């Protein structure tokens, strides 16, 4: 059913042209002057990924030139926020390079706000600097366009190709153009997956025609996880899904409100509800509740408990700050450069934050590796600081040879945000070039047979539809295929009810998780029968398949970790307490590509930063 087959051979293939992908394309050219660099993007890199609409702040900037923060400080910050469990080598590596990335953004014309008195970048908080960032994405996209040999827009990558000479080595990727229907084969020496995280695997709060109204971009469909999972790459911390506390219904950001406008939250009776839940939270997580700043999940936890106890709605107190005309302007501009929809929601609900304190909500869970959460692929760290167990030759290389990750793809390193993801793309690209230069990618063989087989698989949903629609006797209900939207809603219901979604106040346990896994397996079976009426629906079908594989991995991890490490992100009802004795570790999974079965293991957490300091002191 494919129209044409187009072959493209290259050295470095970047999958996804978001923040990490643009960083990778840019840096690959710096180190690999003569290499052929291709970037393949599902949308159009000028406006794709989580930063498509623009941002109002760069959330990760050390300010080392002014002595504001050091990389060690950032490691401690991320470690604290993730309740102790991060890959400190990866976090440190990103933090020591992130300022250089931001300085390039400045040179490329991104309008940075400056503090009038100090001349430094205007701080929104300890780590955030403020920008006029409506055009953030087109600016970084331009750097990628000038660096890559070619950018392919509107092509969805569905599978990775594997080398047939050497086991466990990548050989490229395949996908299709969702406008023309052409089949694309990219044979590559290295592949950098930078395809963003996963929204819409759990049932969203906004359903029906409002379904796209989620905090995380609805087009982020978990390819970053499904692609490496499918070829047997190890994954880490996939249970660490994220729940966001945001303005209700529009999911407008709260960072600038808390940090810059100094607004605060209260329950319906005007009380500070976070204090009320202190003792009970301490019973669950011990001294972690006394850490400063309070970990994001624990703040969510207080919100969720208060709402369940009938203290809602929870409001953001904006009435005081908005009396100051400057802060009022900042409050509105914050949405206009980033989440215009929130301003529209308030207008439609007669909310002027100067006179009405707006409601907040907690979102459905998402899977990400770059925000206040760290799900993703298990990758090698940098050679100078990674402990032996975290190092296998090339920075940011997954456990599949030649397959690299960056941004949301990479697990264990939280709080990278836009600048850190771009930086991680640069780090991965540098290592990928080294991998090629050191002749690790020689003699890769991807047979025509392998490519032909994927072609059959990829376009099958079109055939399912063409054949199956003949059996429809009335309406649109088909006896022999399901549509991508039907499959998506079924997935969301399973994840919501069995794996800790909103309908169950993020609660799950061993029994529900096991049942969830059964239902997910049957969904996988039925997805062989997904039908697509056109190329756009074909994309929806593959997005769904990637979401489902990601969901299986999330569920396996959630079952494996027998504790509630992040109350406020999810609860294991059968293990409600944080258990440092048994679970102060990272979780790893591997799905056997032949059998489809997952195996789980624990990996140690090394607190490198404080160890280093202890050694220096002694």
Ligand X SMILES: Cc1cc2nc3c(=O)[nH]c(=O)nc-3n(C[C@H](O)[C@H](O)[C@H](O)COP(=O)(O)OP(=O)(O)OC[C@H]3O[C@@H](n4cnc5c(N)ncnc54)[C@H](O)[C@@H]3O)c2cc1C
Q: Which residue ranges make up the site for ligand X (CB under 6 A)?
A: 15-21, 40-43, 48-51, 55, 57-59, 156-157, 194-196, 215-217, 219-220, 223, 370-371, 407-408, 416-419, 421
Q: Report, in Å, the least distance between residue 251 CB and ligand X.
A: 7
Q: Report, in Å, the least distance between residue 244 CB and ligand X.
A: 8
Output the CA–CA distances (angstroms, integers) from residue 316 to 241, 323, 358, 399, in the order listed.
Answer: 24, 15, 6, 44
Nearer to ligand X, 423 or 508 (CB): 423
Task: Tell me the β-bridge partners of 38.
Answer: 13, 150
Q: Report, in Å, the least distance between residue 546 CB and ligand X.
A: 7
Nearer to ligand X, 40 or 519 (CB): 40
Q: Report, in Å, the least distance between residue 59 CB and ligand X.
A: 4
Encode burial over 169-207: b for 16+ CB neighbours within 10 A, e otherwise: bbbbbbbbbbeebbbbbbbbbbbbbbbbbbbbbbbbbee
Q: Report, in Å, the least distance between residue 430 CB and ligand X.
A: 16
Distance in angstroms (rounded) separating the CA atoms of residues 618 and 608:
15
Backbone angles phi, psi at 180, to 5 degrees: -100, -20
Distance in angstroms (rounded) separating the CA atoms of residues 549 and 553:
6
Q: Report, in Å, the least distance between residue 46 CB and ligand X.
A: 10
Nearer to ligand X, 55 or 360 (CB): 55
Task: Tell me the β-bridge partners of 317.
Answer: 264
Task: Tell me the β-bridge partners of 404.
Answer: 192, 397
Tell me how far apart the terminal alpha carbons of the chain are, to the nearest angstrom: 68
Taking the CA atoms of 275, 280, 285 and 286 in sequence, report the sign of the dihedral they define: positive
CB 530, CB 481: distance < 8 Å: yes
Nearer to ligand X, 6 or 268 (CB): 6
How would DSSP label each residue in 220-255? Answer: -BSHHHHHHHHTT--EE-TT--B--EEETTT----H
Structure tokens at 360: 């907040």
Nearer to ligand X, 199 or 564 (CB): 199
Q: Report, in Å, the least distance between residue 157 CB and ligand X.
A: 4
Question: Omega into 386 within 30° of 0, i.e. cis?
Answer: no
Nearer to ligand X, 214 or 564 (CB): 214
Q: Report, in Å, the least distance between residue 610 CB and ligand X.
A: 26
Nearer to ligand X, 140 or 519 (CB): 140
Output the CA–CA distances (angstroms, integers) from residue 500 to 239, 336, 496, in the order listed.
Answer: 10, 33, 6
Distance in angstroms (rounded) separating the CA atoms of residues 511 and 10:
47
Q: Report, in Å, the least distance between residue 20 CB and ligand X.
A: 3
Q: Counting Cβ atoms within 10 Å, is residue 449 exposed (0-12), middle (13-18) or buried (19+)?
A: exposed
Q: How many residues make up the chain in this entry?
A: 618
Q: Report, in Å, the least distance between residue 161 CB and ligand X.
A: 14
Residue at shortest CB range from ligand X: 18
Nearer to ligand X, 372 or 444 (CB): 372
Q: Counting Cβ atoms within 10 Å, is residue 594 exposed (0-12), middle (13-18) or buried (19+)?
A: exposed
Q: Report, in Å, the least distance between residue 48 CB and ligand X.
A: 3
CB 201, CB 213: distance < 8 Å: no
Nearer to ligand X, 256 or 517 (CB): 256
Nearer to ligand X, 220 or 265 (CB): 220
Nearer to ligand X, 48 or 375 (CB): 48
Nearer to ligand X, 17 or 311 (CB): 17
Helix, strand, coil percent content, the chain, rounded in steps of 5: 40, 15, 40
Distance in angstroms (rounded) separating the CA atoms of residues 165 and 169:
9
Q: Report, in Å, the least distance between residue 283 CB and ligand X.
A: 33
């Amino acid at each position: 059913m494919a129209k044409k087959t187009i072959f493209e051979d290259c050295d470095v293939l970047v999958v996804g042209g978001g923040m990490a992908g643009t960083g990778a394309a840019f840096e690959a050219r710096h180190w690999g002057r003569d290499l052929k660099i291709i970037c393949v993007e599902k949308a159009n890199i000028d406006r794709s990924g989580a930063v498509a609409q623009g941002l109002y702040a760069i959330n990760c900037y050390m300010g080392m030139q002014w002595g504001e923060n050091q990389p060690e400080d950032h490691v401690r910050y991320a470690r604290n926020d993730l309740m102790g469990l991060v890959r400190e080598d990866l976090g440190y590596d990103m933090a020591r390079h992130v300022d250089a990335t931001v300085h390039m953004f400045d040179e490329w014309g991104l309008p940075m706000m400056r503090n009038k008195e100090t001349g430094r970048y205007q701080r929104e908080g300890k780590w955030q600097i403020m920008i006029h960032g409506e055009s953030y994405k087109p600016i970084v996209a331009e750097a990628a366009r000038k660096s890559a040999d070619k950018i392919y827009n509107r092509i969805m990558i569905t599978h990775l190709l594997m080398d047939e000479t050497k086991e466990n080595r990548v050989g490229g990727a395949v996908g299709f153009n969702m406008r023309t229907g052409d089949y694309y084969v990219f044979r590559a020496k290295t592949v950098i997956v930078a395809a963003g995280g996963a929204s819409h695997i759990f049932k969203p709060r906004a359903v029906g025609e409002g379904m796209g109204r989620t905090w995380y971009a609805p087009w982020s469909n978990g390819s970053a996880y499904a692609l490496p999972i499918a070829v047997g790459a190890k994954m880490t911390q996939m249970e660490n899904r994220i729940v966001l506390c945001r303005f209700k219904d529009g999911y407008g950001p709260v960072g600038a409100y808390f940090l810059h406008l100094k607004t605060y939250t209260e329950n319906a009776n005007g009380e500070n509800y976070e204090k009320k839940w202190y003792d009970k939270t301490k019973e669950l997580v011990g001294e972690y509740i006394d850490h400063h700043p309070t970990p994001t999940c624990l703040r969510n936890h207080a919100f969720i408990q208060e709402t369940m106890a009938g203290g809602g709605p929870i409001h953001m107190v904006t009435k005081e700050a908005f009396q100051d005309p400057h802060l009022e302007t900042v409050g509105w501009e914050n949405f206009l450069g980033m989440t215009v929809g929130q301003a529209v929601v308030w207008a439609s609900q007669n909310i002027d934050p100067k006179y009405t304190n707006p409601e907040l909500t907690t979102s459905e869970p998402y899977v990400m590796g770059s925000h206040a959460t760290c799900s993703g692929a298990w990758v090698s760290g940098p050679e100078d600081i990674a402990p032996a167990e975290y190092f296998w030759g090339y920075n940011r290389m997954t456990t599949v040879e030649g397959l690299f990750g960056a941004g949301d793809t990479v697990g264990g390193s939280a709080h990278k945000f836009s600048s850190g993801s771009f930086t991680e793309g640069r780090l991965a690209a540098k290592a990928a070039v080294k991998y090629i230069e050191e002749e690790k990618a020689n003699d890769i063989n991807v047979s025509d047979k392998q490519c032909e087989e994927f072609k059959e698989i990829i376009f099958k949903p079109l055939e399912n539809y063409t054949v199956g629609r003949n059996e429809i006797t009335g309406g649109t209900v088909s006896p022999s295929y399901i549509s991508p939207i039907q499959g998506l809603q079924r997935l969301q219901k399973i994840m919501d009810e069995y794996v800790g979604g909103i309908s169950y106040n993020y609660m799950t346990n061993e029994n529900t998780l096991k049942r969830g896994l059964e239902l997910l397996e049957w969904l996988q079976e039925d997805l062989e029968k997904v039908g697509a009426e056109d190329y756009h629906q074909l994309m929806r079908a593959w997005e769904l398949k990637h979401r489902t594989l990601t969901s299986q991995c999330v569920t396996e991890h959630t079952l494996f970790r027998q504790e509630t490490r992040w109350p406020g992100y999810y609860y294991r009802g059968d293990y409600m307490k944080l258990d440092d004795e048994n679970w102060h570790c990272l979780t790893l999974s591997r799905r056997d590509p032949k059998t489809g079965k997952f195996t789980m293991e624990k990996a140690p957490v090394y607190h490198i930063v404080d160890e280093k300091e202890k050694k220096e002191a002694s």
